[in-house]
Amino acid sequence: MLYSFDEVQAFVDFMAKQSGKGQEATALGKLSSMFRPVIIRYIDLSEDDRFTVRDFIWKFNRTYSYVTQLIRLHDKDLFNEFLFTSHLVRLLPGNKIDMIDIDEKIKLEYASLKETHTGAILLDEKPPVIVPAGSTVPKTPNKKKDTLQSIIDKVNERFDGQFTESDRVIVEGIYRMFMDDDDVKKFKKYAQDNSVEMFVQSLFPDKFKDIVTRCFLESSESFEKLFNDLDFYKKVQDAMANELYKSLRDKTTKS
């Protein structure tokens, strides 16, 4: 067995304790020590077995993500294993095994989180602090804010005005993570070079799923609704894709 349920539980317990704390070097060191035995076991496997194990973990993660968009799963152990394997698979070396520095690999994998999210390495169960819309109005137009509000308005329309504050948290979180993502430049080009149908139906969905999964891993409580309400998931995705297409295309045209 590549890993045990005791190792999974130790990882989940550690991440829960890290909630609300900074991403300190000592915490990353402890994380390295948790994954090191698993990675060593993986390296000791034959090339065929490494391929099989890695493929199985990828399929498990994709299947779990998909199924939980359709139905609610009341299986805490399965969810904990998903959290563990979602991080493990990014640390496993490819079939061509070279000597790897596990500590350095951990630091590199979590560097992007440090840049875009101040707080726990993984789980922060506290919802983001939302500043009331009327508290501070910028004197110059803010294109990001305009696009975000357009997305919120579109989702609100699709739910006949039944748009809650927690729904706003979800939409804002996804939007901000997308705009901070390195791929945003690539999607600007997609918007310029493709029709709205191609962008909305073929190009954006996979990126949306990736962003949503990252948001969920950082704050599962805040983003849980996306994985339990497929209709909400689809409406947010479609509204965001359509509004981002217009915004990114406009920015590209003017640049």
Concatenate the DSSP letters of all residues of 93-156 into one string: --SS-----HHHHHHHHHHHHHHH--S-SS---SPPPPPPTTT---SS--HHHHHHHHHHHHHH
pLDDT value at residue 245: 93
Model pTM? 0.44
- Token pair belonging to 107: 């630091």
pLDDT value at residue 160: 74
3-class SS of residue 165? helix
- Residue at token pair 């609300």: 20
pLDDT value at residue 175: 92
164-173, pLDDT tens digit by residue? 888 888 899 9
pLDDT value at residue 193: 92
- Residue at token pair 């939302």: 130
Give residue limits of the domains in the chain: 5-116, 143-254
pLDDT value at residue 26: 72
pLDDT value at residue 174: 92
What does the pLDDT profile of the chain (255 residues) look like in tens digits? 899 999 999 988 888 776 655 556 677 778 778 888 998 899 888 888 888 898 889 888 888 877 777 777 788 889 999 989 988 887 887 655 555 555 555 555 554 444 333 334 443 333 333 333 343 333 444 444 478 888 888 888 887 767 788 888 889 999 999 999 888 889 999 999 999 999 999 999 999 988 888 887 777 777 878 877 888 888 899 999 999 999 998 864 444
Burial class (CB in 10 A: 0-12, 13-18, 19+), 105: middle
